[in-house]
Amino acid sequence: MENVNNRLEKLGLQAADILIPRKDVDLTKWAVVACDQFTSEKDYWHDVEKTVGDAPSTLKLIFPECYLDDGDDERRINDINKTMKEYVDADLFKTYKNCFFLVRRTCGSACRWGLMAALDLDRYSWEKGSTSLIRATEGTILSRIPPRKKIRKDAPLEIPHIMVLISDKEKSVIEPLAAQSGKLEKVYDFELMKNGGHLEAWVVDSDSLKSQVATAFEKLDAALDPKNPLLFAMGDGNHSFATAKSCWEDIKATLTEEQRKCHPARFCLVELENIFDPGLVFEPIHRVLFNVPESVFLEELRKNASAVAEEKVGCRNCIAREIADQSQQRFGYCTSDKHVVVTLKDPSANIAAGTLQKVIDELIKKGYNVDYIHGADVTDKLGSEKGNIGLFLPAIDKATFFDTIIKDGALPRKTFSMGEANEKRYYMEARAIR
């Protein structure tokens, strides 16, 4: 019988040596939310700093994006690499060899399951028109890779917030493991900070269970179009995954063919989630335009549709109800004195996010600023400040998500989010990449 690890690697998948902090580390202080959240809310991150204090924490191993424009990149990156080395030298971690982690996140009344595994970066591409097994689902902004690469290129560990989707309608991969969780060794169980909910994990390391996972993935793979086989679709953290790919390409160029097969940097640790998990909710990512006159925004918008119809509504919730119907391309916006639903005729892109991105790109060329916001409340708050405009986008239908990517290619960047900002993946597990 073929070795289960070989079967998995044919699918671009690998069990990993997964690291988690020792039992004496406070995991609530250790785990913090993804660095690309709360990018316009420094108060959030200042509060996290106060919560963490001097305790070991992933906060000290990441670069929250709200600080990207502060001009102290080199200091922050040096501190990250120094702290990571200190944690490794202090033997802070326990290693679980050649395994998956089954993880469960409970946030409010919602619960979702995931599987921690390593994906083969040689099977991934962010290029437009790619037919790779592992694929970007949104446009990759190449300028976002270099700052991340500065951190990863010298780092001994990766500590990912990446979530990757599988389309498993029969619930054959993760859900059978969840049904057996009571028989598995639990590796952690704790409350996340800042309304992040509760996080648990169990180790999946037996050959029988890994073979079960391999068999399920082999069936999913066999059902794919061999000319366009999308097995793993990036959910969150595409730019981090792209950074790992870029670093691997640099390293790969220095290795022999034999060394490339098993080098740890060839793989990247991610959380796999089934798009059909009822606890996984797709949320739109909204936009806020800063100090943009409404007339300037509307002028640019009218260049991207044959007609633009505006209808004032009472509140942000009214916008959400109106734009849910996408039989026509619609979105909403707010200013300091009103909320508006916009309907576009003959828009310049297939979805509202694409049309608006063309508008935003032109506004950026003119010197205006934009931020991408997880959460309608924050969008409403920021967009209602004098001079700003908050843009509300409709949600993507997750039932047709994979078909859309296969047919049309990557969506416009920042089109969707898997949950609200506080529901995003928290940094928890680590893996050696050197």
| Domains of the chain with bracketed CATH | 4-280+420-432 (no CATH), 284-418 (3.30.1760.10)
Confidence grade of residue 109 (pLDDT, cut at 50, 70, 90): confident
Count Cβ neighbours within 10 Å for each residue of 293-314 and write b for 16 or more, e otherwise.
ebeebbebbeebbeeeeeeebe
Proportion of the chain above pLDDT 70, given as a percent = 100
**Looking at residue 420, what is its pLDDT?**
82
Cross-strand partners of 93: 21
Displacement of CA 104 from its chain's centroid (Å): 17
**pLDDT over 80 (residue 326):** no
Secondary-structure breakdown of the chain: helix, strand, coil percentages, each rounded to the nearest 5: 35, 25, 35
Amino acid present at 403: D
pLDDT in tens, 376-425: 999 999 999 999 999 999 988 888 889 888 887 888 878 888 878 889 99
pLDDT in tens, 157-205: 999 999 999 999 999 999 999 999 999 999 999 999 999 999 999 999 9
Q: E-strand spans in 314-402?
A: 329-334, 339-345, 369-374, 389-392
pLDDT in tens, 277-286: 999 988 889 9
Tokens of 255: 């290795």
Any residues with CB less than 8 A from the CB of 283 and at least 6 apart, and which?
A: 374, 375, 395, 416, 417, 418, 419, 420
pLDDT in tens, 254-277: 999 999 998 999 999 999 999 999
Classified as helix, coil or strand, 323 is helix
**pLDDT over 60 (residue 432):** yes
Angstrom distance (rounded) from CA 319 to CA 342: 9
Angstrom distance (rounded) from CA 196 to CA 179: 24
Angstrom distance (rounded) from CA 420 to CA 131: 30
* Residue in 353, 307, 298 with CA at minimum distance from that of residue 331: 353
**173, 277 contact by CB (below 8 A):** no
Angstrom distance (rounded) from CA 358 to CA 348: 8
**263, 167 contact by CB (below 8 A):** no
**Looking at residue 1, what is its pLDDT?**
45
